[in-house]
Structure 1
Amino acid sequence: MFKGFKEFIAQGNVIDLAVAVVIGGAFTAIVNAVVSSIINPIVSLFFEADKAGKFGPTIHGIYSQAVTFPLGDLISAIISFLAVALVVYFVFVLPMNKWKEHQAAKNPAVEEETLPSEQELLIEIRDALRKDAAS
């Protein structure tokens, strides 16, 4: 159990994960600020805000109570997620994949010796038995 953990720590995956979490958290704050200051006002142009400041389509209920579905929050969350995912991909994942490809090209993997198939082994055994029987 500890051997696997030790290998995991030694591979550097923990450092990569920690950096991704910290950068992702910091970038999420920036994306949320952009969404709340730019995207939300644009969405509010199409939908009227209710008393709580939520905007989205309003439907009047049976007892003449108006209910607002806060689609603005949903749209904001989707845009935030997509923005963070795009930045993480283009800033972290894509360069890391390019770096790994570069390292793999620099140090080509040693080709393993191909083992004979089961049929080839059986033919060799048969031939060896015939040779022994003939002697």
Structure 2
Amino acid sequence: MIKEFKDFIAKGNVMDMAVGIIIGAAFTAIVQSLVGDIINPIIALFTGGIDFSGWFYALDGNEYASLSAATEAGAPVFAIGKFIMAVINFFIIAFVVFMLVKMVNRAKAAAIREREEGQPAEATPSGPTELDVLLEIRDTLKTR
């Protein structure tokens, strides 16, 4: 069982996945900062200072000054603003991943083009073509 585990860990895909998860965790902090420090203020500018992260509805019917006050009081809440921010985060991450994949695909295509341009063109095989051989067979059969 230990040998199987070592074989599993030694596979390249597992290590690639681990690196991806670690980079993804670091990327999450960047996206949260982008949304919280850059996008939210821009949205607030256009919406007259509305902060989505503070939008909530307390299900117990009481009024609370903030979302943190409601959660501290133990009230069940619909944190609508947090959901909106999660959706915005998702679209930002999806767009950035799309742009990264697009750049990687463009770089791969350029590398393939460069590799193909550096290689000589395939030489056509010397000797008769298939059509020439078939015509010769036809002519031979006509003479018989």
- Normalising by the smaller structure, the TM-score range is 0.3 to 0.5
- Normalised by the length of structure 1, the TM-score is 0.46
- Normalised by the length of structure 2, the TM-score is 0.44
